[in-house]
Amino acid sequence: GQNIDQPTEMTATEGAIVQINCTYQTSGFNGLFWYQQHAGEAPTFLSYNVLDGLEEKGRFSSFLSRSKGYSYLLLKELQMKDSASYLCAVRDHRGNQGGKLIFGQGTELSVKP
């Protein structure tokens, strides 16, 4: 089966750095995605990791360790607009499930002044 765990909520201060962790168990791993979702809006793509290591994109970075079933999203120089839900999603490539994303429950991040 598949299981994805991430913290329900986190709080951080404007200008600081925050790390959102995600652990997963899946039989047919084919990549891990991070999405950002503001309240009442659609999820928007942030990052994609399929190989071990760090992917950096501006203030956001994402790390993957396939052997540990672990990823994190790192947000630097936090801004108030970063307050949102951050969704970790694992893609399964097995059979007709190729391309299927399994989402975690999301981590609600609150950025305080």
Partner 1 sequence: EAGVVQSPRYKIIEKKQPVAFWCNPISGHNTLYWYLQNLGQGPELLIRYENEEAVDDSQLPKDRFSAERLKGVDSTLKIQPAELGDSAVYLCASSFGGRSVGEQFFGPGTRLTVL
Interface contacts to partner 1, rule CB under 8 A: 4, 8, 31, 33, 35, 41-45, 48, 50, 87, 89, 93, 96-106, 108
Least CB distance to partner 1 at residue 33 (A):
7
Nearer to partner 1, 14 or 41 (CB): 41
The Cβ of residue 3 has, within 10 Å, a number of other Cβ atoms equal to: 12
Nearer to partner 1, 16 or 38 (CB): 38
Least CB distance to partner 1 at residue 69 (A):
17
Nearer to partner 1, 44 or 110 (CB): 44
- In this structure, what is the dihedral angle of CA atoms 99, 97, 50, 26, given to the nearest 10 degrees? 150
Least CB distance to partner 1 at residue 103 (A):
3
Least CB distance to partner 1 at residue 110 (A):
14
Contacts 24+ apart (CB under 8 A), 67-72: 68/23, 69/23, 69/24, 69/25, 69/26, 70/21, 70/22, 70/23, 70/24, 71/21, 71/22, 71/23, 71/24, 71/32, 71/34, 72/19, 72/20, 72/21, 72/22
Nearer to partner 1, 17 or 94 (CB): 94
